[in-house]
Amino acid sequence: MSVSLRMDGVRFSYPSAEGDVLALDRFDLTVEAGEVVCVLGPSGCGKSTLLALAAGLLSPEQGAIVAGERPVEGPGVERALVFQKHALFPWETVRGNVEFGPRVGGVGEAERRKRADELLSAVGLSELDGQYPRQLSEGQRQRVGLARALANEPKVLLMDEPFASLDALTRRQMQALLVSVWQARRQSILFVTHDVDEALALGDRFVVLSARPAKILLERRVARPRDPEALYSPETRALREEALRALGA
Ligand SMILES: Nc1ncnc2c1ncn2[C@@H]1O[C@H](COP(=O)(O)OP(=O)(O)OP(=O)(O)O)[C@@H](O)[C@H]1O
Ligand SMILES: [Mg+2]
* pLDDT over 80 (residue 83): yes
The residue contributing the CA closest to ligand 1 atom 12 is 23
pLDDT at 75: 92
The residue contributing the CA closest to ligand 1 atom 20 is 44
- CA 51 to ligand 2 centroid distance, Å: 9
At residue 87 the predicted structure's pLDDT band, cuts being 50, 70 and 90, is confident
89 lines ligand 1 (CB under 6 A): no
Give DSSP secondary structure letters for the chain. ----EEEEEEEEEE--TTS-EEEEEEEEEEE-TT-EEEEE--TTSSHHHHHHHHHTSS--SEEEEEETTEEP-S-BTTEEEE-SS----TTS-HHHHHHHHHHHTT--HHHHHHHHHHHHHHTT-GGGTT--GGGS-HHHHHHHHHHHHHHT--SEEEEESTTTTS-HHHHHHHHHHHHHHHHHH--EEEEE-S-HHHHHHH-SEEEEE-SSSB-EEEEEE-SSTT-GGGGGSHHHHHHHHHHHHHTT-
pLDDT tens digits, residue range 96-139? 999 999 999 899 999 999 999 999 999 999 999 999 999 998 88
212 lines ligand 1 (CB under 6 A): yes
At residue 57 the predicted structure's pLDDT band, cuts being 50, 70 and 90, is very high
- CA 165 to ligand 2 centroid distance, Å: 13
At residue 86 the predicted structure's pLDDT band, cuts being 50, 70 and 90, is confident
14 lines ligand 1 (CB under 6 A): yes
CATH numeric code, 5-78+154-246 = 3.40.50.300
Mean pLDDT value across the chain: 94
Domain spans, the chain: 5-78+154-246, 89-153
pLDDT tens digits, residue range 136-176? 988 899 899 999 999 999 999 999 999 998 889 989 988 99
* pLDDT over 90 (residue 2): no
At residue 216 the predicted structure's pLDDT band, cuts being 50, 70 and 90, is very high
Percent of the chain past pLDDT 70, that is, above it, reads 100
pLDDT tens digits, residue range 175-196? 998 999 999 889 999 999 999 9
